[in-house]
Amino acid sequence: MQSKTPKISEAVVRRLPIYLRYLQHLFDMNIRTVSSHELGQKLDMNPAQIRKDLAYFGEFGRKGIGYEVIYLIEKIKQILKLDRTIRVALVGAGHLGIAISNYNQYLKENLTITAIFDTDPKKVGTSIGAMNIYHLDELSAIVAKQEIEMGIITVPAFAAQEVVNKLVAAGVRTILNFAPVTLKVPANVHLRNADLTTELQSLAYYL
């Protein structure tokens, strides 16, 4: 699949989970086939954009018919690497970290938080659901042992750069940061910011 991909923009990649989500909804409703036009209406997107996005990865539809729902779900899962288990470390067992950890237990799609890290002695050694809370000093060892590939940062802003450094040193190359600070990472690390504060502040503009 990835073999014949030219350069896929992040905008395209970020739309794929939205397609996937709606396709799964269609599947649950026993709808077997869908056109880019129908998808576009439901998802508020241009049908040409949907076709173009999918066409980057292969020919998944049938002219005159549309896309077979179950087949397209399979394909998008493959593209997003959601066809295998991906283990995730979460660093920072505060309110937000705990909320995400709990949320994780309901998540499907093979993305699973397997270890939580903190530095608070009162939290280290306890657990949230099936997830143990380890000391941050154990990060590197646990990441290696559990074959963790992704990291989520939910520590306060002042601690975030140190945490991301440790994740990178431990070999984690894909990181979602909730701390309200701009972090520096090497070019081969994929860092995404998902900071609530900046989100709300930018929304205020539209009041």
The nearest distance, CB 104 to a copy of itself, in angstroms, is 9
Q: How far is CA 132 from CA 44, 87, 148, 170, in A?
A: 41, 14, 14, 18
Q: Which amino acid, one-letter code, is at 38?
A: E
Annotated binding-site residue? 92: yes
Annotated binding-site residue? 37: no
CB 91 within 8 A of CB 118: yes
Which of 54, 91, 124, 150 forms a contact with a copy of itself (CB under 8 A)? 150
Q: What is the DSSP string of 3-50?
A: GG-----HHHHHHHHHHHHHHHHHHHTT--EE-HHHHHHHHT--HHHH
CB 112 within 8 A of CB 100: no
Residue 100 contact among a copy of itself, DNA, none, beta carbon within 5 to 8 Å by kind? a copy of itself
CB 89 within 8 A of CB 38: no
Taking CB under 7 A as the binding criterion, the range among 19-27, 58-66, 163-171, 192-200 that sits at the site for DNA is: 58-66
Could you say whether residue 61 binds DNA (CB under 7 A)? yes
Strands of the chain, DSSP E: 33-34, 61-62, 66-68, 86-91, 111-118, 127-128, 131-135, 150-153, 174-177, 190-193
Give the integer Cα–Cα distance in Å for 71 and 74: 5
The DSSP symbol for 53 reads H
Which of 70, 80, 159, 170 forms a contact with a copy of itself (CB under 8 A)? 80
Could you say whether residue 13 binds DNA (CB under 7 A)? no
Q: Which of residues 15-44 bind a copy of itself (CB under 8 A)?
A: 16-18, 20-22, 42-44
Annotated binding-site residue? 25: no
Could you say whether residue 81 binds a copy of itself (CB under 8 A)? yes
Could you say whether residue 87 binds a copy of itself (CB under 8 A)? no
Could you say whether residue 187 binds a copy of itself (CB under 8 A)? no
Instruction: Enumerate the known binding-site residues for NAD(+).
Output: 92-97
Residues that bind a copy of itself (CB under 8 A): 10, 13-14, 16-18, 20-22, 42-44, 79-82, 86, 88, 95-96, 98-100, 102-103, 107, 109, 111, 149-150, 152, 173-174, 176, 180-182, 184, 190, 192, 194, 196-207
Residues that bind DNA (CB under 7 A): 9-12, 35-37, 45-49, 51-52, 54-55, 59-67
